[in-house]
Amino acid sequence: MNKPGKIGGLALSSLLKKPATTKYPFVKEPMIGKFRGKIKFSQPLCIGCKICMRDCPSNAIEIVKVGEKQFEAVLDLGKCIYCGQCVDSCPKKALELTGEYELAVLDPKTLKVKI
């Protein structure tokens, strides 16, 4: 336990130190290189093999055919656990992880997005 006289010295010394926290909403820190954020889909690279759908442990991704040799991905952000398994299993590298991490929404219906 600190003595009463030492507490005043500790309080004064902490006033001169740089804060340990960041000003998050105003200053956004860059994410590290292998951060697993929101998934990005590259439509021209997708061949529609649906390996990403089969490998997804939470069944959060769905590949839908929209035309002749054209596919789109629908991601349920409420189900996704951001493990990156779909990205690793894609043979054509049509999926990639981004550094986007601010994904909170108020309406749960908006969690299902076309990526």
Q: In the chain, where are the structural domains located?
A: 30-114
What pLDDT is stored for residue 4 in this prediction? 63
What pLDDT is stored for residue 115 in this prediction? 79
Q: The CATH number of 30-114 is which of 3.30.70.3270, 1.20.120.80, 3.40.50.720, 1.10.15.40?
A: 3.30.70.3270
What pLDDT is stored for residue 91 in this prediction? 93
What pLDDT is stored for residue 49 in this prediction? 92
What pLDDT is stored for residue 2 in this prediction? 54
Structure tokens at 72: 């789109």
Q: Does pTM surpass 0.75?
A: no
**Dihedral angle of Cα 102, 103, 106, 107, to the nearest 10 degrees:** 160
- d(C-alpha 50, C-alpha 89), whole Å: 10
CA 45 to chain centre: 22
- d(C-alpha 88, C-alpha 30), whole Å: 23
- d(C-alpha 59, C-alpha 61), whole Å: 6
What pLDDT is stored for residue 3 in this prediction? 61
Taking 50 as the pLDDT cut, the residues of the chain under it are none
Look-up of token digits 């409420």: 78
